[in-house]
Amino acid sequence: MAASRRFARKLPSIISKHHRLISLEIETAETLEESTSPASIPLDPSLPLLPLAVSHLSPPSPLPALPSAHASSPASLLRLLRRARHHPRLAPLDLHLLLAAASSSSAFRPDHGLTSLIAARLAASRRLPSLRRLLELVLSRPCPCADDSIFACPDLLPTFRKAILAFATSGDIPSASDALASLRRAADSPLPAEFYNIVLHALARLRRHDDAIRFYGEMTSVHRVTPDAYTFNILINSSCHVEGVDAAMRWFTEMRHRSCAPTGVSFNTLMRGFFRERRYKEGIKVAHEMLQLGVGLSVASMEILIGGLCRGGEALKAAEVFAEFLVDAVVPEGFDCLGLIESLCHGGLLDKAVEVLELVLEMNRACCLSVPAGVTVLECLLKAGKLDEVCRLMSRMVGVGVVPDTISCNCIFESLCEAGRTPDANRLRILASEKGFKPDGVTYSMLVQGLGREGRTKEGVAVLDEMLDLGFIPNIVAYNRLLDSLHMQRSLQ
């Protein structure tokens, strides 16, 4: 307890020291990013590495003095940095400690484990200037794994991947392309498409579609990189947002010509593009093509298909497509038809909504019917006064385990009791209780009062005794009051 109080007293000073140590580099990084906004810098992967001023990376003063044993080898420095991960003074000095160790001895060569750890921390904290300096150090002093060999370190790629991803995520496209060019010169074999996809995705995310197409051309023609499905998915999505779905279809055709198998993401992007342009027949055709090619429909695919039709005012067509796929057993498990049910009910197509619900129950696909979807149909039937349909559908829903919540059940029971159908409400209550429904005091009170109004004293007493056993009646006075209400209603009749 005493140690905790001492730590609490020292915590403000520790935090202030930590902020003072890292404030210089954070301000420098923000200034550099503002002066090199991605919108003002053209894409040029052949640009040389940007020179960095020493003041940008100058360590805070005073730099903690480390024993020589910690800087004697990359392994010892790596152990120190791992232990000091949450240290308020040493944590932000990871790169400075590495540079100090490298400057103290020209023979010090950081290995891939040390550089990968520092690259991950610099990328996570978005210290982009420090990340550039780290890459320069990695290139100038190769990993000891490359000793006595003409090949580069096999673990060089992960370090550069972290850096390229950090640059691209921050919108610093020139730095990302510079790092990619440096890695291409240092690597022994052609880089996989994964590294180019990082830059390509950043360009698409920044809506720099023309630069993305030009980068793809350099990637395939100049650097001879074979694009993969992720490459084309980026281009298809970017084209859908900028040029339209017809341009995206050209990339889809290029994808097939290069013998690159389309994925579910490719089809989903095209389907969403067609629905965005209100070309519903072609969007439905994409879904059928997915089934023909064996890709299959995912939950996301069904949500795009049904949701796109419903938002476009084609709820009836969506119900037909859903029924077709449900009969063909291609609807994925986990898809919820709530959106379809709501569109049908709000569009005045209650009979079609009931038909969809009954088809789901008939096909034993209760996984596609959530409680809100079933309650939506029941509420619309209550408003329409179709109590027979309410009792029948609720019985079927409860039978397959789709039990409405307590508030919804109470609303249904109240409507039945007011219509003089309290026995039906009590029957539904018993059926739902067997499937996990937990009635409350309001439920029992409505049933007791409804049975009393209808002169069913014996059944009312049974429900009242059950209510007493479950503890919903606080005292004997309340019990007698409810019991008197049963007999009073009978005497009035």
According to the model, what pLDDT value does residue 54 have? Answer: 32
Phi, psi of 283 (to 5 degrees): -65, -40
According to the model, what pLDDT value does residue 247 have? Answer: 95
Phi, psi of 64 (to 5 degrees): -55, 135
**Radius of gyration of the chain, Cα coordinates, nearest whole angstrom:** 34
Other beta carbons less than 10 A from residue 180's beta carbon? 23
Other beta carbons less than 10 A from residue 407's beta carbon? 11
Instruction: Name the DSSP letter for residue 218.
Output: I
Hey, do 203-296 and 297-402 end up sharing a CATH topology, with the first three levels equal?
yes
Mean pLDDT of the chain: 82
Alpha carbon distance 166, 161 (integer Å): 8
- Greater confidence, 314 or 148? 314
pLDDT at 26 exceeding the cut of 50: no
Q: Which CATH number fits domain 297-402: 1.10.3470, 1.25.40, 3.40.50, 2.40.160?
A: 1.25.40
pLDDT at 164 exceeding the cut of 80: yes
Of 230, 236, 228, 229, the residue nearest 209 (C-alpha):
236
Instruction: Name the DSSP letter for residue 221.
Output: I
Contact residues for 368 (Cβ-Cβ < 8 A; gap 6+): 326, 331, 333, 335, 336, 337, 360
pLDDT tens readout for residues 106-146: 777 777 788 888 888 888 888 889 899 988 888 887 777 76
Q: Are 450 and 444 in contact (CB under 8 A)?
A: no
Sequence ranges of the domains in the chain: 90-142+154-189, 203-296, 297-402, 412-493
* pLDDT (mean) for 462-479: 79
Quote the strand ranges of 234-375, DSSP E. Answer: none
pLDDT tens readout for residues 192-203: 999 999 999 999
Of 300, 321, 299, the residue nearest 310 (C-alpha):
321
Lowest mean pLDDT among 97-101, 385-389, 412-416, 434-438: 97-101
Q: Are 286 and 271 in contact (CB under 8 A)?
A: yes
Alpha carbon distance 475, 173 (integer Å): 74
- Greater confidence, 371 or 148? 371
pLDDT tens readout for residues 223-241: 999 999 999 999 999 999 9
* pLDDT (mean) for 340-369: 92
Amino acid at 337: C
Q: CA 462, 464, 467: angle at the middle one, nearest 5?
A: 115
* pLDDT (mean) for 144-156: 70
* pLDDT (mean) for 332-341: 93
Lowest mean pLDDT among 243-252, 441-450, 476-485: 476-485
State the maximum Cα–Cα separation within the chain, in Å, rounded to a whole number.
107
Q: What CATH homologous superfamily does 203-296 map to?
A: Tetratricopeptide repeat domain (1.25.40.10)
Of 363, 45, 50, 91, the residue nearest 185 (C-alpha):
45
Percentage of residues of the chain with pLDDT beyond 90: 51
pLDDT at 380 exceeding the cut of 60: yes
Alpha carbon distance 268, 307 (integer Å): 12
Q: Are 197 and 185 in contact (CB under 8 A)?
A: no
Alpha carbon distance 86, 93 (integer Å): 11
79 pLDDT band, cuts 50/70/90, is: confident
44 pLDDT band, cuts 50/70/90, is: very low
Other beta carbons less than 10 A from residue 353's beta carbon? 26
Alpha carbon distance 241, 231 (integer Å): 16
pLDDT tens readout for residues 271-306: 999 999 999 999 999 999 999 998 999 999 999 999
Alpha carbon distance 29, 171 (integer Å): 13
According to the model, what pLDDT value does residue 38 have? Answer: 38
pTM tops 0.85, yes or no: no
pLDDT at 9 exceeding the cut of 50: yes
Residue-by-residue DSSP string for 46-74? TPPPPP--GGGGPPPSSPPP--GGGGSSH
Q: Are 46 and 181 in contact (CB under 8 A)?
A: yes
Alpha carbon distance 255, 233 (integer Å): 9
Q: CA 215, 220, 223: angle at the middle one, nearest 5?
A: 90
Whose tokens are 């790092």? That residue is 179
Lowest mean pLDDT among 97-101, 389-393, 443-447: 97-101
Nearest-10 Cα torsion for 157, 160, 166, 167: -130
